Amino acid sequence: MRLHGEYEPSTTAWVREQVEAYETSGGQEANTLRGRAEWPIVVVTSRGARSGKLRKNPVMRVESGGVYAAVASKGGAPEHPVWYYNFLADPVVEVQDGAEPRLYRARLAEGAEREEWWERSVALYAPYAEYQEKTDRLIPVFLLEPVDEQER
Check if CATH label 2.30.110.10 holds for domain 13-146. yes
SS (H, E, C) 103-118: EEEEEECCHHHHHHHH
Under DSSP, is residue 38 helix (H, G, I), strand (E, B) or coil?
coil
Q: What is the dihedral of CA 143, 148, 151, 152, to 10 degrees?
A: 80
Angle at 32 between CA 31 and CA 34, to 5 degrees: 130
Contact of 143 with 67, CB cutoff 8 Å:
yes
Per-residue pLDDT of the chain (152 residues; tens, 9 = 90+): 789 999 999 999 999 999 999 999 999 999 999 889 999 999 999 999 999 999 999 999 999 999 999 999 999 999 999 999 999 999 999 999 999 999 999 999 999 999 999 999 999 999 999 999 999 999 999 999 999 865 54
Contact of 69 with 143, CB cutoff 8 Å:
yes
User: Which positions ≥6 away from 91 have C-beta within 8 Å?
Assistant: 105, 106, 107
